[in-house]
């Protein structure tokens, strides 16, 4: 039965500089109980579509045309006060950032109850129902949790509360706008599973917005692919993933690395970058980046045409050649063999980093040590790439910042290129900066907006000791090295896209001719189509220049693609380390296994078991659990298996599985799934 029918929905933002057509003639239908994905890159109009359905487009946006029929009623023509009764009762919404979507000054219970009270429930009834909902979304101790404030809950728990609010009035349609993007994979798995459970038990329909093909593959029945404000393809997930009907979908699918994919080849990158919605290309919005584009594509816009029973595509090429396979067939460059040295160029042993703020509080108490890194050792050899993975907050950034001297090691030893640089002073600082450089996560924040690219890179060259007369030449060379035109040197950062800025960040890091690059999530802020470009660039640089990488990332598949060895970190400690193949194919530590199990893969043919591998979230480094730090969440730990008190009392040491593969667990041999 059709629940929602959207046709020709168009939303425009009226800006002083001109109108932006953020959503352009979007049409789709949604059946009861169906989970539909909307996937697309940043700025493709996903969120605006969702908000348009709710009639909650922000100023200066306006829905200029279209129909949104919910159970046959056109929502766009309802008066605002009637629309208000529909919001929260028939359509509910879950937003991206659980940190910001809950009101910090009201208890979560009050916020859930409010959703009921505004739709006519009495206070008592609202409270009862709220407690029910808290239990339903899996929040422990509903009674006491009811009185808690959002900041007292972890991100995952907060997102559950938001979902509880959405479910409060038994809405038929739940719109979830990237509900897991801000969460760790382990938590994402929990939330996705919860949504599916709810769909099954309540029979609600879900619109799932995401930019992650893996998520679509995991939970959706059908999906829309959006590009530049338009739907370019829609259809059943199983069909789209096997035989995409639009070149963009195809490119998107092949650009993401997979844990299981062939790592000997470079990634397929989509050239160029996503379109600027304020300045869309004239014809098909994808045509400038499309390898199949013909002249027709440049001049007029293709309509979304039904191709199969459920498949639609907006592509002139597909219209002509019915059987065309859009998957890239170009042979990719093979990765080169590279040299890995034998002495370590970076080694840290048993280091601690205290991030406990030393600021005095209102009553002058000194805060105790918070060891975000607590007794960690690892080493990197010249030319080697060590991947570092772990949930958010486990101390990855803290470790890398301590290596370059932004944080201080409070204990342990750090040796870089044969020199002990644990104490950062004068000469050591110099030594470190000439050997180790850093590439940051956020390309928008890592460049000074007030300085031209030439100034930023020139400054780096100058401290590296390049003579003033050579600076300009070297800067130009660096720009070319990272694939940018040297004539852009005089521009300011705002003139560049995210991917280009990240290239500039890399160029600046290379200015000092370092031997090691620390890459702190260098691609997680980028669109998937750009990610591949940067990963390929990094790979090329590494192999050409013989760099060693400390590569930090959330995305396990990206890490596998790039790394020689991988270290898995949990709450300030390494729990498992080994060659990439060992870790991914033969994980030993229960945490590693859980991480791998939680990572969604853009594969529809072999759907994974969706039961989340890990419960709860990472504890605070201020109060780490005694003994094994992982025990409070460990599926084979004392909480799940009897007689494992050793985990509470004793810290596990490393046990070698093979030469390079080690893990720290009291029960390594246990092979539970």
Partner 1 sequence: MKSRAASRYLQAFKTPVGLISTLSIVALTSLAFLAPVIFPNGYDQQSANSLLGPSLKNPLGTDDLGRDIFTRVVYGLRSDLTLVYIAVPISLVIGTFLGLIGMISNFLGNLSMRLMDFIIGFPALILAISITVVLGTGFTALLVSIIILGTPGVARLARSTMLEQEQREYVIAARVLGISKWKILFRHILPNIMDPLIAQGAILVVVAIFIESGMSIIGLGLQPPAPSLGVLLNNSMRFIIEYPTFVIGPVVALVSLTLAFGKLADALNATVVRK
Partner 2 sequence: MIFSSIAVFLLPRLAPGDPALAIAGGDATEEAIAEIRETLGLDRSLVEQYWVWITGVFRGDFGDSYLYRLPVSELISGRFQSTIELAVSATIFLIIFGVGMGVLGGTTRSRKVKSVLDVVVSFLLSTPPFLIGIVLIILLGVVWQVLPISGEVNFIDDPATGFKYLLLPSFALSLSSSAVVARLIQTQMISVRGEDFVDLAKAKGVPPSRIAFRHVLRNSLGASIVAVGLQVGHLLSGTIIIESLFARNGLGSLTINAVLTRDYLVLQAVVLFAIAIAIAIQLISEILLAALDPRVRLGSE
Ligand X SMILES: Nc1ncnc2c1ncn2[C@@H]1O[C@H](COP(=O)(O)OP(=O)(O)OP(=O)(O)O)[C@@H](O)[C@H]1O
Contact call for residue 89 and partner 2 (CB under 8 A): yes
Give the DSSP letter of residue 13.
E
**Whole-number Å distance between alpha carbons of 435 and 458:** 18
CB 266 within 8 Å of CB 333: yes
Cα torsion angle, 252, 253, 254, 258, sign: positive
- Based on the shown chain and the rule CB under 8 A, indicate whether residue 15 belongs to the binding site for partner 2: no
Query: Which DSSP symbol is given to 274?
Result: P
- Min. distance of Cβ 13 from ligand X in angstroms? 4
Q: Does 393 bind ligand X (CB under 6 A)?
A: yes
Determine the size of the site formed for partner 1 (CB under 8 A): 34
Can residue 44 be called a binding residue for ligand X (CB under 6 A)?
yes
Residues 588 and 668 sit within 8 Å (Cβ to Cβ): yes
How far is residue 538 CA from its own chain's centroid? 19
Answer yes or no whether residue 317 interacts with partner 2 by CB under 8 A.
Answer: no
Q: Contact 608/218 with Cβ under 8 angstroms?
A: yes
From residue 208, how far is each of 34, 37, 222 by CA, in Å? 10, 5, 10
Which single residue is written with the structure tokens 């595509």?
313
Residue written as token pair 């990719």: 332
> Which one of 43-51, 255-263, 465-473, 576-584 is the stretch in contact with ligand X (CB under 6 A)?
43-51
621 touching ligand X, by CB under 6 A: yes
Q: Which H helix or E strand runs over 432?
A: helix 427-435
Applying CB under 6 A, does 277 fall inside the site for ligand X? yes
394 binds, among partner 1, partner 2, ligand X, none (CB under 5 to 8 A by kind): ligand X
325-342 b/e (C-beta count within 10 Å ≥ 16 → b): ebebeeeeeebeeeeeee
**Interface pick for partner 1 out of 32, 128, 451, 608 (rule CB under 8 A):** 451
If one asks whether residue 100 binds partner 2 (CB under 8 A), the answer comes out as yes
Among positions 386-415, residues that touch Mg ion (CB under 5 A) are 397
Question: Is 82 or 544 the residue whose CB approaches partner 2 more closely?
Answer: 82
Q: What number of chain residues touch ligand X (CB under 6 A)?
A: 30
CA nearest 652: which of 624, 623, 631?
631
- When binding is defined by CB under 8 A, the residue of 15, 56, 100, 463 that contacts partner 1 is 463
CB 453 within 8 A of CB 489: yes
**Of the residues 106, 327, 335, 429, which one makes contact with partner 2 according to CB under 8 A:** 106
Interacting partner of 105 out of partner 2, partner 1, ligand X, none (Cβ under 5 to 8 A depending on kind): partner 2
DSSP 502: H
Residue 47 binding target from Mg ion, partner 2, partner 1, none, CB below 5 to 8 Å by type? Mg ion
Site string for partner 2, 354-393 (x = CB under 8 A): -------xxx------------------------------
Of 573, 622, 623, whose CA–CA distance to 355 is shortest? 622
Q: Tell me the two tokens of residue 235.
A: 């259809």
Q: Which of 194, 195, 460, 482 binds partner 1 (CB under 8 A)?
A: 460
Q: Does 45 sit near ligand X (CB under 6 A)?
A: yes
Instruction: List the one residue from 3, 93, 345, 484 that touches partner 2 (CB under 8 A).
Output: 93
* Interface stretch with partner 2, choices 86-94, 249-257, 285-293, 518-526 (CB under 8 A): 86-94
Which chain residues interact with partner 2 by CB under 8 A?
A: 54, 56, 81, 84-89, 92-93, 95, 97, 100-106, 114-115, 118-119, 149, 151-152, 162, 165-166, 168-169, 361-363
């Amino acid at each position: 039965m059709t629940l929602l029918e959207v046709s020709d929905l168009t939303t425009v933002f009226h800006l002083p500089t001109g109108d932006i057509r953020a959503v352009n003639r979007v049409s789709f239908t949604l059946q009861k109980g169906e989970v539909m994905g909307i996937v697309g890159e940043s700025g493709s109009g996903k969120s605006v579509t969702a908000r348009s359905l709710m009639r909650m487009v922000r100023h200066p946006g306006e829905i200029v045309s279209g129909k949104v029929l919910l159970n046959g009623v056109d929502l766009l023509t309802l008066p605002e006060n009637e629309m208000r009764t529909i919001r929260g009762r028939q359509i509910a919404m879950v937003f991206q950032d659980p940190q910001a979507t809950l009101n910090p000054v009201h208890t979560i219970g009050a916020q859930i109850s409010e959703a009921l009270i505004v739709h006519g429930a009495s206070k008592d009834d609202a409270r009862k129902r709220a407690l029910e909902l808290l239990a339903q979304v899996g929040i422990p101790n509903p009674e006491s949790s009811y009185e808690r404030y959002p900041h007292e809950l972890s991100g995952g728990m907060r997102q559950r509360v938001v979902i509880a609010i959405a479910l409060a009035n038994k809405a038929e349609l739940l719109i979830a706008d990237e509900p897991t993007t801000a969460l760790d994979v382990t938590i994402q798995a929990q939330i996705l599973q919860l949504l599916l459970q709810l769909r099954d038990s309540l029979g609600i329909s879900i619109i799932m917005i995401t930019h992650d093909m893996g998520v679509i593959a995991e939970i959706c029945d059908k999906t829309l692919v959006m590009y530049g404000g338009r739907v370019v393809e829609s259809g059943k997930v199983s069909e789209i993933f096997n035989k995409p009907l639009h070149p963009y979908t195809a490119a998107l699918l092949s650009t993401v690395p997979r844990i299981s994919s062939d790592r000997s080849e470079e990634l397929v990158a989509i050239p160029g970058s996503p379109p600027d919605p304020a300045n869309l290309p004239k014809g098909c919005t994808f045509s400038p980046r499309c390898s199949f584009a013909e002249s027709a594509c440049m001049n007029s816009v293709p309509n979304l045409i039904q191709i199969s029973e459920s498949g639609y595509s907006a592509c002139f090429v597909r219209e002509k050649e019915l059987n065309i396979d859009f998957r890239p067939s170009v042979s990719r460059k093979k990765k080169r063999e590279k040299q890995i040295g034998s002495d370590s160029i970076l080694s840290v042993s048993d280091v601690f980093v205290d991030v406990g703020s030393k600021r005095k509080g209102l009553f002058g108490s000194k805060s105790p040590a918070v060891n975000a890194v607590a007794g960690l050792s690892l080493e990197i050899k010249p030319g080697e790439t060590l991947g570092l993975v772990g949930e958010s907050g486990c101390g990855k950034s803290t470790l890398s910042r301590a290596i370059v001297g932004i944080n201080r090691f409070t204990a342990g030893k750090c040796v870089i290129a044969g020199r002990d640089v644990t104490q950062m002073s004068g000469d050591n600082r110099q030594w470190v900066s000439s050997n180790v450089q850093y590439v940051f996560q956020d390309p928008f924040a890592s460049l000074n907006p007030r300085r031209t690219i030439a100034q930023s890179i020139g400054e780096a060259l100058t401290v590296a000791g390049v003579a003033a007369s050579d600076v300009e030449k070297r800067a130009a060379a660096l720009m070319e090295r990272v694939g940018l035109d040297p004539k852009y040197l005089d521009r300011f950062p705002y003139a560049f896209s995210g991917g280009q800025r990240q290239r500039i960040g890399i160029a600046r890091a290379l200015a000092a001719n370092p031997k090691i690059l620390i890459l702190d999530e260098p691609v997680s802020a980028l669109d998937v189509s750009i990610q591949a470009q940067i990963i390929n660039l990094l790979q090329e640089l590494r192999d050409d220049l013989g760099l060693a990488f400390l590569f930090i990332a959330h995305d396990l598949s990206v890490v596998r693609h790039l790394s020689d060895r991988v270290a898995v970190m949990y709450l300030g400690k390494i729990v498992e380390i080994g060659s990439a193949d060992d870790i991914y194919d033969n994980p030993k530590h229960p945490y590693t296994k859980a991480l791998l199990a939680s990572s969604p893969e853009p594969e529809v043919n072999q759907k994974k078991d969706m039961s989340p591998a890990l419960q709860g979230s990472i504890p605070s480094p201020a109060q780490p659990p005694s003994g094994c730090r992982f025990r409070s969440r460990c599926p084979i730990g004392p909480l799940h298996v009897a007689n494992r008190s050793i985990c509470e009392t004793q810290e596990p040491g490393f046990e070698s599985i093979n030469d390079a593969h080690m893990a720290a667990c009291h029960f390594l041999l246990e092979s539970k799934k």
